[in-house]
């Protein structure tokens, strides 16, 4: 009898797992997704022809396997057709592509975009990562610049030896003054906690090898070298110059992957959350699925189970014999939730004072970190600069205002109308828009967007030990592993799980090593 694999969640990890199973095995994947769309956090919201990317998803990886995987689905556009917001660096085509793709002639195309993100602080722009330029020092002022230099020199000589918190991590990398100026407030907006109460793991994963010395080295390299491949293997992730991006946003790629899965015999069922798992001492037997369209609950058995659902929910669905310590740790895992307000504007007040070419004088940033203490806004996306095709009428400006919150708190509890009014007032307060220039808006709430590195996170190995004893259960993806993975990391965890299934490997260390051991990711090419 042909074997089946049940995959919980149709985000990047779940869809990658299904696609890889179909390519490499004779196992039939069945995906159960609780929402009404595929893509997870990487889906694209289409509002009246204006497409919104939830959080902003760069298609960038140091893994050649992932880059080829993406461009097998959506071929890369040719350089001559890259248009605006392109700085001029040449990019190597992937090995699997030797033909031109023009985005004006086809929708199935991966654009090449320049990356520009800046910090908005004191109503001035600072490059992010911070650049070694005269304007940076002029904006900071002489006194603050001297403090930054001295505090960095001090920490270089006398580093914090026992790094126990995220605050310790940032101070060791950048010095206390730079941390207080550019990292502390924004990071605390993201997590809702002081950095001194957060484990350093998030910084290790997101900042990795970035330091002031790396910034200086990168700045010097840019004086002499401007030819990058899209993998940019010798560059820290935070310093990449360009990235790939689907013409109509990240959801376009995952919708295409979903279509290929169903075309090749895979099954995807939307609005079908997992309610309960059946298991014995070392094996998952099946799952109870509630079909919210048909209002009925059905039991499905399978040979293999891959889960990208939040660990807290997974353990909750496994009573009654889960050890109390595992239940307690799972219940104590914390997630940070996310709200995006899409604002369609006739114009914004910020002017392009850079050398980058843009349409209608629009500032060239893909996204802006809002460091102003007077507002709760965390990040501002400018979707025109991710892809001009995200905007229905490119004479308008399509913004995404990002707020970090916790489900049930003051921000989360606002009605969509009240939240829109609140968000517009915040942009007016920091002189980015006038309310009279707002044409339309939409509010999107995303629960459990970011697994947090506090709560019972430090006891996560207890859950891993319990889960790993099930020979046919594999945890994959960001929420599935409670790890702040990038999209490519989530995909790699799915590929590793499929490899284990294919080769009958019971040890799951290779899955958990991804994005914990950076060499693992880079060695996959």
HEC sequence for 220-247:
HHHHHCCECCCCCCCCCHHHCCEEEEEC
* pLDDT at position 517 over 80: no
511 Rama sector, left if φ>0, alpha if ψ -120 to 50, beta otherwise = alpha
pLDDT, average across residues 245-260: 98
DSSP bridge pairs for 289: 274, 298
Average pLDDT over residues 87-104: 52
**Domains in the chain and their CATH numbers?**
4-42+253-332+456-522 (3.50.50.60), 118-222 (no CATH), 334-452 (3.90.660.10)
Q: Note the pLDDT of residue 175.
A: 92
Contacts of 31 (CB under 8 A, 6+ apart): 7, 8, 9, 10, 14, 15, 18, 261, 266, 267, 268, 269
CA distance 233 to 390: 29
Tokens representing residue 158 in the block: 């006398």
Instruction: Identify the sign of the CA torsion 451, 505, 283, 307.
Output: positive
Q: Are strands 304-307 and 4-8 parallel, antiparallel or unpaired?
A: parallel
pLDDT number for residue 105: 87
Q: Are 10 and 267 in contact (CB under 8 A)?
A: no
Which residue has 């990002």 as its token pair?
402
Higher-pLDDT residue of 159 and 237 is 159
Kindly tell me if the per-residue pLDDT of 449 is higher than 80: yes
HSE-CB at 11 with a 13 A cutoff on CA atoms is: 28
User: Residue 379 contacts by C-beta under 8 Å, 6 or more apart in sequence?
Assistant: 56, 367, 368, 369, 370, 402
Q: What percent of the chain has pLDDT over 90?
A: 73
pLDDT at 148 over 80: yes
CA-based angle 103:107:109, to the nearest 5?
60
Position 135 pLDDT exceeds 80: no
| pLDDT at residue 133 greater than cutoff 80 | no
* Planar angle of CA 134, 138, 142, nearest 5 degrees: 115
Q: How confident is the model at residue 79, as a pLDDT? A: 62
Average pLDDT over residues 109-125: 91
pLDDT at 219: 53
DSSP label of 318:
S
Please provide residue 137's backbone torsions phi and psi, each rounded to the nearest 5 degrees: -70, -35
User: What is the per-residue pLDDT for 525?
Assistant: 32
Q: In 44-95, which residue ranges form alpha helices assigned H by DSSP?
A: 64-73
Tell me the pairing of strands 367-370 and 379-382: antiparallel
Q: Which pLDDT belongs to residue 90?
A: 38
Q: Which residue has the higher pLDDT, 360 or 107?
A: 107
Q: How confident is the model at residue 86 (pLDDT cuts 50, 70, 90)?
A: very low
CA-to-CA distance for 183 and 215, rounded, in angstroms? 16
- Strands 242-246 and 110-114 come out as antiparallel
Check residue 127 and give its pLDDT.
85
Query: For residue 218, is pLDDT > 90?
Result: no
What pLDDT does 98 receive?
A: 45
In terms of pLDDT, which residue wins out, 200 or 217? 200
Helix (H, G, I), strand (E, B) or coil at 462: helix
What does the CA dihedral 421, 423, 425, 427 come to, rounded to 10 degrees?
-150
Task: Look at residue 235 and tell me whether its pLDDT is greater than 70.
Answer: no
Mean pLDDT value across residues 129-134: 70
CB within 8 Å of 103: residues ≥ 6 apart: 77, 81, 109, 111, 247, 389
Bond into 320 cis (ω within 30): yes
Which residues lie below 8 Å from residue 387, measured CB to CB, with a gap of 6+? 111, 113, 245, 246, 247, 248, 249
Q: How would you class 483 by CB atoms within 10 Å of its CB: exposed for 0-12, middle for 13-18, buried for 19 or more? A: buried
pLDDT tens digits, residue range 457-479?
A: 999 999 999 999 999 999 999 99
Give the tens place of pLDDT for each residue, 316-364: 999 888 999 999 999 999 999 999 999 999 999 999 988 888 888 899 9
Q: Note the pLDDT of residue 252.
A: 98
Q: What is the mean pLDDT of the chain?
A: 88
């Amino acid at each position: 009898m042909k074997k089946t694999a049940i995959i919980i969640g149709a985000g990047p990890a779940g869809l990658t797992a299904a696609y890889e199973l179909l390519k490499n095995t004779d196992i039939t994947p069945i995906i159960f997704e609780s929402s009404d769309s595929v893509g997870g956090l990487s889906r694209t919201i289409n509002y009246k022809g204006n497409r919104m990317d939830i959080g902003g998803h760069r298609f960038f990886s140091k893994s050649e396997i992932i880059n080829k995987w993406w461009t097998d689905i959506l071929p890369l556009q040719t350089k001559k057709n890259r248009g605006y917001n392109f700085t001029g660096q040449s990019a190597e085509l992937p090995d699997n592509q030797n033909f031109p793709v023009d985005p004006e002639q086809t929708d199935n195309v991966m654009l090449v975009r320049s990356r520009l993100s800046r910090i908005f602080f004191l109503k001035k722009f600072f490059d992010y990562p911070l650049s070694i330029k005269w304007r940076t020092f002029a904006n900071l002022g002489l006194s603050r610049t001297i403090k930054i230099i001295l505090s960095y020199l001090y920490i270089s000589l006398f580093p914090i030896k026992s790094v126990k918190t995220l605050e310790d991590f940032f101070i060791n990398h950048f010095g206390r003054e730079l941390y207080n100026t550019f990292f502390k407030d924004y990071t605390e907006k993201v997590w809702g906690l002081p950095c001194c109460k957060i484990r350093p793991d998030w910084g290790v994963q997101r900042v990795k090898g970035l330091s002031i010395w790396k910034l200086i080295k990168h700045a010097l390299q840019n004086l002499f070298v401007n030819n990058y491949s899209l993998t940019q293997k010798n560059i820290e992730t935070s310093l990449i110059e360009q990235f790939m991006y689907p013409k109509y946003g990240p959801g376009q790629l995952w919708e295409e992957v979903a279509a290929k899965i169903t075309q090749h015999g895979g099954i995807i069922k939307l609005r079908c959350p997992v309610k309960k798992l059946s298991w014995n001492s070392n094996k998952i037997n099946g799952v109870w699925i509630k079909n919210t369209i048909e209002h009925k609950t059905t039991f499905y058995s399978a040979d293999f189970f891959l889960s990208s659902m939040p660990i807290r929910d997974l353990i909750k669905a496994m009573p009654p014999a889960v050890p109390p310590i595992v239940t307690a740790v799972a219940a104590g895992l914390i997630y940070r939730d996310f709200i995006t307000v899409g604002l369609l504007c006739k114009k914004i007040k910020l002017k392009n004072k850079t050398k980058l070419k843009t349409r209608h004088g629009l500032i060239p940033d893909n996204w802006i970190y809002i460091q102003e203490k007077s507002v709760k806004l965390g990040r501002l996306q400018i979707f025109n600069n991710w892809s001009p095709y995200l905007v229905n009428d490119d004479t308008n400006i399509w913004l995404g205002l990002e707020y970090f919150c916790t489900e049930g708190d003051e921000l989360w509890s606002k009605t969509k109308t009240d939240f829109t009014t609140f968000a517009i007032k915040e942009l007016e307060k920091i002189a980015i828009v006038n309310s009279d220039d707002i044409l339309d808006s939409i509010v999107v709430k995303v629960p459990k967007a970011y697994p947090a590195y506090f709560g019972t996170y430090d006891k996560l190995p207890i859950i891993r030990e319990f889960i790993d004893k099930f020979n046919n259960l594999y945890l994959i993806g960001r929420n599935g592993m409670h790890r702040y993975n990038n999209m490519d990391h989530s995909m790699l965890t799915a590929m590793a799980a499929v490899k284990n299934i294919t080769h009958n490997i019971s040890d799951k260390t290779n899955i958990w090593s991804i994005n914990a051991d950076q060499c693992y990711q880079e060695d996959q090419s």
